[in-house]
Amino acid sequence: MAVEHARGSPQRLFLLIYAVGILVTALLSNDATAIVLTPAVYAATRAAGAKPLPYLFACAFIANAASFVLPISNPANLVVFGERMPHLFEWLRQFALPSLAAIVVTFVVLRLTQRRALAEGIIESRVPHPKLGRGGRLTAVGIAAIGVVLLTASALDVPLGLPTFICGVVTAAAVLVLSRQSPWPVIRGISWSVLPLVAGLFVMVEALMKTGAIDQLSALLQAEIERSPTQSAWGAGIAAAVADNIANNLPVGLVASSVAANDHLPPPVLSAILIGVDLGPNLSVTGSLATILWLVVLRREKIDVSAWRFLKIGLLVTPPALLAALAVAIW
C-alpha cells in the first residue's frame, strides 16, 4: 500500500515508510520494527525497483527514535522503570513532546543524509499484492489484540512484563493451532544467537553490582543533583546515550534502574536517562537489540551494512535528535 500511495516518488515512499515505522514501534515495540517491518520494506522496495537501503535505514532509526512514545514501545522502558513504571497518561505527559522532537529531528536529518539516494527517478507504483493467508490474517488480529491489551494494562497501571509474555505465547499458539501449522519453522526462525549476547550483558551488569560500582555511581549522581538538577539531567541523559553504544542499552537500562532504586531521582533526571537509553542506540549498530536484529534481517537478505557506514549516519542523526528530546523533557 505504501508503494501505491507513493505514486512513483522515492521521497514520498521514504516518508510513508517512516510513518509506518512510527506506528509499528509505538504500538508493538522497536524490536517488532526490526523483525517485522524491515523484511516487508525490503520486499516492497525491491518490487518497486527502488534502492532498498535508504528505506531500510528509516526502519533502523525510527525503531529507536519512536521507542519512548509509549511504555510498550521498547523493552528497555520496562527495564529502566521496573515496578515504578508510570501509568499511560502520566507517561504521555512526560514523553509525548520529547518523542515528537526525537521523531521529527531524526526524520529531517536522516532524510538529508539519504537525499542523493532518494533522488533516483520515478519508481514503480503498481506492484502485485500478495494475498494474506489464514495464518497471516490470524497473526494480524493477534497483533492488534496484543496492542489493545498492553495499552489497557498500561492505562490501568498494571505491570507490563507478565501481560506481554502471556499475549505473545497465546497469540503464537493460537495462530499455529488455528492455521494448522508446525511450530518448528517459528522456533527455527528465532535469532537464538542473540540470547547468549543479551544474557552476557546482564551478567556483566550483575558483576558491576557486586563490585560496588552501582553504589558509587549512585553517590556521584546524587552529588551532581544536589549541585544542579538541570545540569545533572543533561549529563545523565548524554552519559546514558554514550554508554548504550559501549555496552548496549539493555544493561545500561538495568544499571539506570538500579541507580534509580538506590536514590529518589527527580523526574527530569529519570526522564533524561530514559531518553538517553532509548535514543542513544541510533549512534551505532551495537546500541540496541533492535538494531542488532535489524542487521540480522539484512544479512539474511545478503545486504551488508558495515558498522562504520552506520556510525557515519548515526553521528549526524543522533546528537541533534538527542539534544532536542532532552531539551523538551528537561525544560
User: Please, what is the average pLDDT of the chain?
Assistant: 85
Could you count the other beta carbons within 10 Å of the beta carbon of residue 77? Answer: 25
Tell me what the mean pLDDT of segment 250-267 comes to.
Answer: 82
Is the separation of the CB atoms in 247 and 201 below 8 Å?
yes
Would you place residue 145 in the very low, low, confident or very high pLDDT band (cuts 50, 70, 90)?
confident
- pTM here is 0.84
* 236 alpha-carbon distance from chain centroid: 20
Least confident of 64-68, 83-87, 193-197: 193-197
Average the pLDDT over 71-90 and give the result. Answer: 87
Our CA angle for 105, 107, 241, nearest 5°, is 55
What pLDDT is recorded for position 251? 85
Question: In the structure, what pLDDT confidence band is assigned to residue 256 with cuts at 50, 70 and 90?
Answer: confident
What are the two backbone dihedrals, phi and then psi, of residue 114, each rounded to the nearest 5 degrees?
Answer: -105, 10
